[in-house]
Structure 1
Amino acid sequence: MSVTKMSDELNADYKFSDRDADQCFVEWRQHKDPNYELTRLEQDVGLQGTPPLVDGTTQTSWFRSVNSALQYEPIVMEPARRRAEMDSDKIQAFLARVLPRVERALQQNETLDVFLDPFAHLLEEEDASLGNKNNENAMRELRSFTDLVYSKNKTLTAIDWHPRRHGVVAVAAAANASFARRLDLLDTVESSFILIWNFVDLIHPQIMLESPQDVLAMRFNPTAPHLVAAGLYNGQVLVWDFSKAEHLLSKMKTAKPSSGSGSGSGTAATASTASSKGRDDDTHKQVPPVKPLYVSYIDVSHRRPVADLQWLPAGVEVNSRGHVVASTGADAGAVNQFVTIAADGQVSFWDLRFKDPKYRGMTRAKVDKAGTSKDGVVPDVHFVPIYSISLSKVDSPGELTLQTLWLEKTRDDAGTGGEGGAPTLTSKFYCGTEEGEFVYADWRPHAPAKGGNKGEDGARGDEGAEYVQWLCRDHSRPVLGLCASPSFPNIFLTASESHFHLWNVSQQYDGGAVENVPVAATNGPIFVSPLTPSVVTCVAFSPSRPGVIFLGKADGMLEVWDFLDQSHRSSLSIGVTACALTSIEFRPQLVTANNPNSNAANASAAGTGGAGAGRAKATDVAGARGRNNAGPGPAGGNAPGTNVKQQLVAVGDQIGNLHILEVPRTLSRPTSGERAAMEAYFKRESERMKSARASKTSSSGNDGGAPNLRQNRGEEGAPGTAAATNVTPAAGKEADSTRSGPAGADDDVFKQMESEFCRDMGLETARSA
Structure 2
Amino acid sequence: VFGYSKFRSAFGRWPSFHDKESETLIDIPPDHNLSKLFQRRFQIDREIDACSPMSAKEINTTHIKNTTFGINHMEGGWPKDISYLDQDQTVRYRKKAEREESYIPTMNNLCKSMEECIQQNNSIDIYVRYFAKEPLLEYHPEVSASVAYNLRDPSGLGRGVSCLTFHPNEGSEKIGVVHCDLDFEEILKPCYESYIWRVENPFQPEQILYPTSPMLTMQYNYKDSNLIAGGQHNGQVAFFDIRKSSKPISFTEKSISHTEPVNSLIWIQSKTGFECFTCSTDGQVLWWDMRNLNEHADQMCIDSTRNNDINIAEGGISLEYSPTVPTKFMVGTEQGNVYSCTRRAKNPGEKIGQVFSEHLGPVYLLERNFYLYKIFLTVGDYHADIWSEDFPHSALWKTPMYNSHVLHGGWSPPRPAVFFLSKADGTVDVWDLMYKQKGPEYSIKLCDERLFSLAVEEKGEFIAVGSESGDTYILQMSSEVFEPQNTEKNFFLFMTEREARREKFLSDKEKDKKVVKAQMAAAASTLFSEKEKEEISELLNQTTDIFYETIKDEKKKLTQQSPQLSKVLLHWHCNHQLSVKIVI
TM class, shorter-chain normalised? 0.5 to 0.7
Letter matched to residue 384 of structure 1 = E
List aligned pairs for 1:9-158, cutoff 5 A. Answer: 121=132, 124-125=135-136, 129-130=140-141, 132=142, 137-149=143-155, 152-158=157-163
Q: 8 Å contact 1:125–1:671 — kept in the other structure?
A: no
Match of 1:476 in 2: 360
Match of 1:78 in 2: none
Match of 2:405 in 1: 535
Distance 1:172 1:147 in 2: 10
Distance 1:703 1:300 in 2: 52
How big is the shift at 1:159? 0.9
Distance 1:478 1:702 in 2: 37
1:501/1:189 Cα in 2 relative to 1: closer, same or farther (>3 Å)? closer
Match of 2:290 among 328, 332, 352: 352
Distance 1:582 1:128 in 2: 33
Match of 1:632 in 2: none
Match of 1:385 among 296, 312, 315: 296
Match of 1:700, SS state, is helix
Distance 1:702 1:215 in 2: 55
Offset from partner CA, 1:723-762 (integer Å, 9 cap, x none): xxxxxxxxxxxxxxxxxxxxxxxxxxxxxxxxxxxxxxxx
1:468/1:702 Cα in 2 relative to 1: closer, same or farther (>3 Å)? farther
Match of 2:275 in 1: 337
Distance 2:237 2:464 in 1: 24
Match of 1:719 in 2: none
Structure 1 residue 402 corresponds to structure 2 residue 402: no
- The unaligned stretches of length 5 or more in structure 2 are 1-22, 25-59, 61-122, 519-584
How big is the shift at 1:200? 3.6
Distance 2:370 2:346 in 1: 31
Distance 2:406 2:508 in 1: 32
Offset from partner CA, 1:459-494 (integer Å, 9 cap, x none): xxx6xx332112232211111111111121111111
Q: 8 Å contact 2:153–2:159 — kept in the other structure?
A: no
Distance 2:430 2:189 in 1: 41
Identity of aligned residues (%): 23
Letter matched to residue 230 of structure 2 = A
Match of 2:363, SS state, is coil
How big is the shift at 1:576? 2.5
Match of 1:225 in 2: 225
Distance 1:568 1:189 in 2: 43
Match of 1:270 in 2: none
Offset from partner CA, 1:255-310 (integer Å, 9 cap, x none): xxxxxxxxxxxxxxxxxxxxxxxxxxxxxxxxxxx111112211211011111100
Distance 2:448 2:242 in 1: 34
Match of 2:251 in 1: 295
TM-score, length of structure 2 as denominator length? 0.63
How big is the shift at 1:702? 7.5
How big is the shift at 1:664? 1.1
Match of 1:682 among 480, 487, 496: 496
Structure 1 residue 547 corresponds to structure 2 residue 417: yes
Structure 1 residue 585 corresponds to structure 2 residue 541: no
Match of 2:8 in 1: none
Distance 1:489 1:383 in 2: 34
Match of 2:336 in 1: 436
1:291/1:563 Cα in 2 relative to 1: closer, same or farther (>3 Å)? same
Letter matched to residue 421 of structure 2 = L
Match of 2:180 in 1: 174
Match of 2:377 in 1: 493
Q: 8 Å contact 2:385–2:395 — kept in the other structure?
A: yes
Distance 1:433 1:557 in 2: 25
Distance 2:153 2:380 in 1: 30
Q: 8 Å contact 1:312–1:335 — kept in the other structure?
A: yes
Match of 1:692, SS state, is helix
How big is the shift at 1:125? 4.3
Q: 8 Å contact 1:391–1:467 — kept in the other structure?
A: no
Distance 1:570 1:486 in 2: 20
How big is the shift at 1:341? 0.8
Match of 1:655 among 453, 458, 469: 469
Letter matched to residue 216 of structure 1 = L
Q: 8 Å contact 2:315–2:333 — kept in the other structure?
A: yes
Letter matched to residue 164 of structure 1 = N
Structure 1 residue 568 corresponds to structure 2 residue 524: no
How big is the shift at 1:127? 9.8
Match of 2:452, SS state, is strand
Distance 2:125 2:315 in 1: 59
TM-score, length of structure 1 as denominator length? 0.48
Distance 2:239 2:488 in 1: 41
How big is the shift at 1:337? 0.6
- The alignment's C-alpha RMSD in Å is 3.0
Letter matched to residue 445 of structure 2 = G
Runs of 4+ displaced beyond 3 Å:
110-114, 116-119, 121-128
Letter matched to residue 493 of structure 2 = E
Distance 1:488 1:534 in 2: 29
Offset from partner CA, 1:170-227 (integer Å, 9 cap, x none): 110112x43xx35xx46x8924112000134221101101012221111011111111
Match of 2:504, SS state, is helix
Q: 8 Å contact 1:129–1:666 — kept in the other structure?
A: no
Structure 1 residue 427 corresponds to structure 2 residue 297: no
Distance 2:282 2:498 in 1: 38
Larger relative contact order (CA 8 Å, sep ≥ 6): 1
Higher deviation after alignment, 340-349 or 561-570: 561-570
Distance 2:146 2:136 in 1: 22
Match of 1:190 in 2: 190
How big is the shift at 1:703? 10
Match of 2:112 in 1: none
Distance 2:327 2:126 in 1: 47
How big is the shift at 1:693? 0.8
Q: 8 Å contact 1:294–1:383 — kept in the other structure?
A: no
How big is the shift at 1:662? 1.6
Q: 8 Å contact 2:322–2:368 — kept in the other structure?
A: no
How big is the shift at 1:391? 2.4
Distance 1:577 1:128 in 2: 31
Offset from partner CA, 1:315-353 (integer Å, 9 cap, x none): 2xxxxxxxxxxxxxxxxxx41111011111211111111
Offset from partner CA, 1:123-165 (integer Å, 9 cap, x none): 75489524x4xxxx21122222124326x51111111111122
How big is the shift at 1:113? 8.6
How big is the shift at 1:112? 9.6
How big is the shift at 1:383? 4.0
How big is the shift at 1:118? 6.0
Match of 2:240 in 1: 240
Distance 1:140 1:112 in 2: 38
How big is the shift at 1:571? 1.9
Match of 1:154, SS state, is coil
Q: 8 Å contact 1:495–1:539 — kept in the other structure?
A: yes
